Amino acid sequence: MDLAQWRARLAAGPPFPYPAVSVLGLVLAVVVTWGGVLVIVAGQVVPAWVLGGSLVVVSLVLMGVHGVRRHRSAPDDGDTAVTAGGYGLRRLGYVLLTVLAVASVGVRALGDLGAQYLVLRPSGPGGCTAVVRETAFLMAGTGEVYGVGGSTGVAWGPSGSWFADDGYRPVAERSYELEWGRGDGVLVVRGSGGNPVYPAIHPVNCD
């Protein structure tokens, strides 16, 4: 690389950190997917695995762009052989992290098959919104309630969960009560006949 090329690179400013941002995106994808993060966008619930999958796609695109730019600006002075070993280790780590992120999203997506997300009304103080996720498998049903902050639209995990017999979905069947106080709310889910629900009382916390 001659002096003119060095000056042109310095004038262009620092390069965008594609690898670092991509790796950060993959790490966040794993954390978000398994952390049970939930978002409401335009009144629609966006599950954790959708958020994680979006982060994976963005990370892969960034690394693709980085690969193209790196190939175009590859040095021709013989230094490639010196750095090949370190680059190979970094690439292996990136591949393993990508596999972990994709597998995490896939497992959570499969676990969400048949899941039903319900936005409960009315909202609480400050726009706090209760969102319920209910699933049924064979003879068992499960449910979770999330408190989605009105200012952020994000829930950082469920604030309560329950089990129901015979795959019963109490919230979908409108067998529940939602009450709001000055800050938090309380969701009470009830069984029906021979379909008990346990436990019945759950806090709705948007902090």
In the chain, what are the domain boundaries? Answer: 3-111, 116-204
C-alpha–C-alpha distance, residues 62 and 177, integer Å: 46
Parallel, antiparallel or unpaired: strands 197-198 and 160-165: antiparallel
CA distances from 10 to 20, 21, 68, 203 (A): 20, 21, 20, 56
HSE, CB side, 13 Å, CA atoms: give it for residue 85.
1
pLDDT tens digits along 100-155: 999 999 999 998 988 999 999 999 988 999 999 999 887 789 999 999 988 889 99
Task: Judge whether 147 and 185 are in contact, CB under 8 Å.
Answer: yes
C-alpha–C-alpha distance, residues 187 and 171, integer Å: 10
Tokens of 91: 């690439």
Residues of the chain under the 70 pLDDT cut:
1-14, 73-87
For 134, phi and psi rounded to 5 degrees? -125, 140
Q: Which of 88, 66, 83 lies closest to 19 in space, CA to CA?
A: 66
Q: Would you tell me how many other CB atoms lie within 10 Å of the CB of residue 18?
A: 18
**pTM metric for this prediction:** 0.77
pLDDT tens digits along 140-154: 899 999 999 888 899
Residue 82's pLDDT is 46
Q: Which of 114, 133, 124 lies closest to 46 in space, CA to CA?
A: 133
